[in-house]
Amino acid sequence: MKIGYIFPGQGTQTVGMGKDIYEKYDEAREIYSRVDNVLGENIEDITYNLSQEELNQTKNTQIAIYTMSLAILEILNKARIKAEAAAGLSLGEYTALTCANSISIEDGAKIVRTRGRLMQDLAPEGDWAMAAIIGMEDDKVEEVCSKVEKGFVKAVNYNCPGQVVVSGEKEAVLRAMEIAKEMGARKAIELKTSGPFHTEKLKEASNELRKELEKISFNKCEISVIKNLDATAYTDEDDMVDILANHVINPVKFRKSIETMLEMGIDTFVEVGPGKTLSGFVKKVCKEKEVEANILNIENVETLENAMQSLK
């Protein structure tokens, strides 16, 4: 069994996510305590007590998902369950780098909190949206974006066969959704996000994030971590600051990242964090590639304990 961890990004958050794990496991509470201490904030309050609308704010979403995923990861580590590779969707790449001990939990918490605030506060003024186009191949979604007559919209998340996310001005995104349906897309779904993520519109946020990343110590990855930028594994020669600063203004190549993990021999994928979104992406990639893989997700006590039984 070769295990690969996959870590979710924004859009998977729900109020109260992971609370049963927090209440049952000392290891989970230790992680929340470490994050609380370094930030001087109460992440439990953000995760369990805010309204869904407040939790959906990027500044809150990112740190809540990051901390929950790390809490689960700590329990897996204590159970001596280890992965050989990791990848994450957007924000999830920071969790993957923390999993690989490239970034400490404390530095990770600080940079994720800052990243969320910058992506929210430094998005240019306007009404922004993201939408998933389902049942349409990558090049067709790019064609859809080119057909939008007015406003800014582009393909940004290449998630899996038949699913690409577009991002941009809300009216342009809504128009892209209409055009996609006219061109044969099965569905087009607006997402729970609040900015033109992974586009050049976040250049100011990228520049400010770069300054914060320069304050962090990066270590050699202890397991393979697959980059969103190009779906290759980080190397010792990589400029981590440059890669992560550019991360927020470039498309996410998640589909190719899963293909890379399959080529590495990963046969067991474990989604660590809220939701089952990434598990669905892996299933579609495996189906297209005609390969079999064991796919698990961990988001509550039941799925955690089932996974630990399967992975021992």
Query: Helix H segments across the chain?
Result: 19-24, 26-39, 43-49, 52-55, 58-78, 92-99, 105-121, 138-147, 170-182, 203-213, 240-247, 254-263, 277-289, 301-311
Contact 64, 35 (CB under 8 A): no
Contact 75, 304 (CB under 8 A): yes
- The fold of the 3-122+200-311 domain, in CATH, is Malonyl-Coenzyme A Acyl Carrier Protein; domain 2 (3.40.366)
What is the model's pLDDT at position 11?
Answer: 86
- Domain-wise residue ranges, the chain: 3-122+200-311, 128-190
What is the model's pLDDT at position 194?
Answer: 67
Residue 5 has pLDDT above 80, yes or no: yes
- For residues 64-76, give the mean pLDDT: 98
Q: What is the pLDDT of residues 42-63, one digit of tens each?
A: 999 999 999 999 999 999 999 9
Q: What is the pLDDT of residues 137-168, one digit of tens each?
A: 999 999 999 999 999 999 999 999 999 999 99
- For residues 105-129, give the mean pLDDT: 96
What is the model's pLDDT at position 85?
Answer: 98
Whole-number Cα distances in Å, 299 to 105, 177, 291: 20, 30, 25
Q: Which listed residue (69, 198, 224, 257) is catalytic?
A: 198
What is the model's pLDDT at position 300?
Answer: 98
What is the model's pLDDT at position 193?
Answer: 75
What is the model's pLDDT at position 109?
Answer: 98
Helix 92-99 and helix 105-121, axial crossing angle in degrees, nearest 10 = 170
Q: What is the pLDDT of residues 230-275, one digit of tens each?
A: 999 999 999 999 999 999 999 999 999 999 999 999 999 999 999 9
Q: What is the pLDDT of residues 171-224, one digit of tens each?
A: 999 999 999 999 999 999 998 776 899 999 999 999 999 999 999 999 999 999
Q: Judge whether 247 counts as a catalytic residue.
A: no
Q: CA-CA distance, 25 to 105, in Å (whole number)?
A: 18
- For residues 71-86, give the mean pLDDT: 97
pTM: 0.96
- The fold of the 128-190 domain, in CATH, is Alpha-Beta Plaits (3.30.70)
Residue 108 has pLDDT above 80, yes or no: yes
What is the model's pLDDT at position 156?
Answer: 97
